Amino acid sequence: MLILDHVTKRFGEKIAVDDVSFSVAPGEIFSLIGSNGSGKTTLIKMIVGLLRPDHGSIKVHENDTIHEPLKTKSLIGYIPDEPAAWPGMTGEEFLHFVGALYGVDETKRKQKISELLPLFKIDGGETDNFDGYSRGNKQKFSILASLLHEPKLLLIDEPIVGLDPESAIVAKNIFTEFAKNGGSVLLVTHTLPVAETISNRIGILKHGKIASIGSLADIREHIHQTPSASLETLYNIITT
């Protein structure tokens, strides 16, 4: 579903992403972890088309993000690290606005919104102003908005930040169910227990390069650790 092939991105003399290659298959949750400045958000922005790679290619469902930008964007549900909406919008208006951008007709939008709101138990609060929501509630609406057009690929940048424990569980269940139904998930997170719990494979970024990639078992074997070694332990060994 998603293929990055030798992707490089520079900002002046700084190489933010350095010859990165990986793929995410249908039905897979792939987590990308790394320190601040390791290139995670730059990669996400290139996949969604906000930045262009200086070298290499990115394909979503065999469509090139540079040559077929509208097609690739239509297949992606994007949950940014900082949820935002036009000032003065209600939560419901925000959902309709995002759905309309993706070409979902009004009847279908109403149906999907009525199905999605109960997932986080926020039905009833959708008529409140988006700007007045807590950080967590803004995040909930952003997650639901990403699902309105029934994407093939979810790109998620720090999804759990600001969510209460119950809502964090709901979010993890949503992503897991999305993958079970054949969708692909790319999860960028600093919350290592989340990545450890729900990921099929994990990529660890260091200074813009993939330092290790694979299942937890693969990464443990790669650095000669015991089967009980946690992702936190593996991460610390690889990045220090």
Write out pLDDT tens, residues 48-65. 999 999 999 999 999 999
Domains of the chain as residue ranges with CATH: 1-75+152-164+184-240 (3.40.50.300), 83-150 (no CATH)
**Within 10 Å of residue 142's Cβ, how many Cβ atoms?**
23
- Select from 43, 118, 52, 112 the least CA-distant residue to 81: 43
pLDDT tens column, 186-201: 999 888 988 999 999 9
Percentage, residues of the chain above pLDDT 90: 78
The whole-chain average pLDDT of the chain stands at 92
| Helix, coil or strand: residue 172 | helix
In the structure, what pLDDT confidence band is assigned to residue 124 with cuts at 50, 70 and 90? Answer: confident
pLDDT of 201 reads 97
CB 190 within 8 A of CB 32: no
C-alpha to C-alpha distance for 79 and 204, rounded to whole angstroms:
20
Number of H helices, E strands in the chain: 9, 10
C-alpha to C-alpha distance for 21 and 31, rounded to whole angstroms:
14
C-alpha to C-alpha distance for 128 and 132, rounded to whole angstroms:
7
CB 160 within 8 A of CB 168: yes
